[in-house]
């Protein structure tokens, strides 16, 4: 269903702000440097002060997606958000994203499923999980930025299996263990899969740097950790805040992230 009234957009933004203000922060946040818990105000202030934030999710955990929606709303209430950078969108899709956003900026409106169609959303990332986050960004005027490889890029890397050098010591060993644990038959393709990981993190870092600040990157947790992912591909002079979503029985090293956000595992 299409609407072309700015009144609907204004009402939508008011409703989003009211919802964010009414809902308490899900879970608890631990400062990994001090081991202390941050209350809601201190957490939002810490994140809002950072120009680049990397939020690492577990893709199939609904609580992680609810936390992401809460955080984006809370940040937008505190100060304008420059960009939402998503692993779930290939960077080659950026022209389409911009066309849709320009259309919406004119006061048009699309309901959830129609928005997914307009964006030509990749069904490998369930819209039921990511649609709410995308809608918050779209309706708040936050720029969407794709940051993933195209399918053609991935296929080329898998076929050529180039040897790559990771910026962090031990990253190859850690990522190899993850790949082999998740894919029992991955051993013959390991070099190619590691090359894909390397290229994805490089692309995400580039997209994050090119996005208007403050920018929030949402990606799988291994992509945002300092020991394995995007932070190693950012310029040393660029500070970034790393947040890892986790369940209560998980540990995240202080060398990998600044904050551990403990939510459910459902």
SS3 letters for 99-118? HHHHHHHCCCEECHHHHHHH
The pLDDT tens digits for 25-71 are 999 999 999 999 999 999 999 999 999 999 999 999 999 999 999 99
Is residue 16 over pLDDT 80?
Answer: no
Q: CA–CA separation, 263 vs 83, rounded Å?
A: 24
Q: Is the peptide bond before 153 cis (omega within 30 degrees of 0)?
A: no
Question: Do β-strands 52-57 and 215-220 pair in parallel, antiparallel, or remain unpaired?
Answer: parallel
Question: Which pLDDT does position 34 carry in this prediction?
Answer: 97
Q: What is the pLDDT of residue 186?
A: 82
Does pLDDT of 2 surpass 50? no
Residue 7: pLDDT band (50, 70, 90) is very low
> Is the confidence at residue 139, as pLDDT, over 60?
yes
pLDDT score of 144 more than 50: yes
Query: What integer best gives the mean pLDDT of the chain?
Result: 91
What is the sign of the dihedral through the CA atoms of 169, 170, 174 and 175?
positive
Which helix (H) or strand (E) segment holds residue 259: the answer is strand 259-262
pTM higher than the cut 0.75:
yes
């Amino acid at each position: 269903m299409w609407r072309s009234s700015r009144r609907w957009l204004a009402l939508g933004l008011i409703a989003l702000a009211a919802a964010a203000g009414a809902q308490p922060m899900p879970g608890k946040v631990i400062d990994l440097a001090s081991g202390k818990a941050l209350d809601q105000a201190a957490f939002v202030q810490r994140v809002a002060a950072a120009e680049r934030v990397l939020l690492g999710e577990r893709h199939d955990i609904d609580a992680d997606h609810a936390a992401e929606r809460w955080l984006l709303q809370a940040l937008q209430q505190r100060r304008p958000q420059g960009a939402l950078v998503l692993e779930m969108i290939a960077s080659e899709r950026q022209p389409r994203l911009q066309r849709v956003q320009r259309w919406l900026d004119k006061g048009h409106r699309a309901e959830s499923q129609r928005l997914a169609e307009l964006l030509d959303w990749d069904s490998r990332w369930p819209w039921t999980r990511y649609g709410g986050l995308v809608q918050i960004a779209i309706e708040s005027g936050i720029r969407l930025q794709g940051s993933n490889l195209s399918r053609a890029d991935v296929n080329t890397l898998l076929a050529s299996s180039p040897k790559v050098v990771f910026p962090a010591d031990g990253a190859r060993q850690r990522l190899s263990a993850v790949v082999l644990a998740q894919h029992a038959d991955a051993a013959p393709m390991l070099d190619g899969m590691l090359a894909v990981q390397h290229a994805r993190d490089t692309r995400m870092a580039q997209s994050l740097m090119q996005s208007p600040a403050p920018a929030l990157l949402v990606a799988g947790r291994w992509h945002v950790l300092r020991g394995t992912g995007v932070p190693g591909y950012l310029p040393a002079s660029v500070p970034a805040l790393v947040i890892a979503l986790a369940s209560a029985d998980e540990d995240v090293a202080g060398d990998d992230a600044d904050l551990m956000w403990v939510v459910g595992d459902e």
